Amino acid sequence: MQTGAEQNCAINVTPLIDVLLVLLIIFLVITPVTSTGLPALAPETATAAAPEQPDALVVSIGADGAIRVNRRPVTLSELPGVLREAFAVRPATVLFVHGSPELAFGDVAAVIDIGRGAGWERIGLMPAGAP
């Protein structure tokens, strides 16, 4: 029986939010800040001097049609063999093709096709301003 004033049966959530914020601050403070990673080993020095090989192979085609593989002149008939030998030695490298801006794209596409035939799958085109 009510005696005049109605009773409010709503739950007061303000103390619950205060408890939640205090717990959040506690968890933020106790979490470790330093991150741990995998152990890494320092590279060992080479005992014998290995021949240095460039990371990429660049085939450049001049305006006159002269082909160079890493600045070494090569004829069009020698190009498939040279690219096959280079792919056998380092198959993970990228073959870059740099054509002179005066060339037709068909000449550059022919060199790309020769590279594909030699086994290269990663072939990139170099921009016109690159050496």
CATH of the domain at 121: 3.30.420.270
Residue 65 lies in a domain: yes
Residue 110 lies in a domain: yes
Amino acid in position 109: A
Residue 22 lies in a domain: no
- The total number of structural domains in the chain stands at 1
Task: State how far the Cα of 18 lies from the Cα of 13, in Å rounded to an integer.
Answer: 9
Task: State how far the Cα of 19 lies from the Cα of 14, in Å rounded to an integer.
Answer: 9
The parent domain of residue 102 ranges over 56-125
pLDDT in tens, 62-103: 989 899 998 899 998 999 999 999 888 887 788 999 988 888
Residue 131 lies in a domain: no
Residue 66 lies in a domain: yes
pLDDT in tens, 8-67: 777 788 888 999 999 999 988 887 777 667 777 777 776 655 455 556 789 999 989 899
Residue 83 lies in a domain: yes
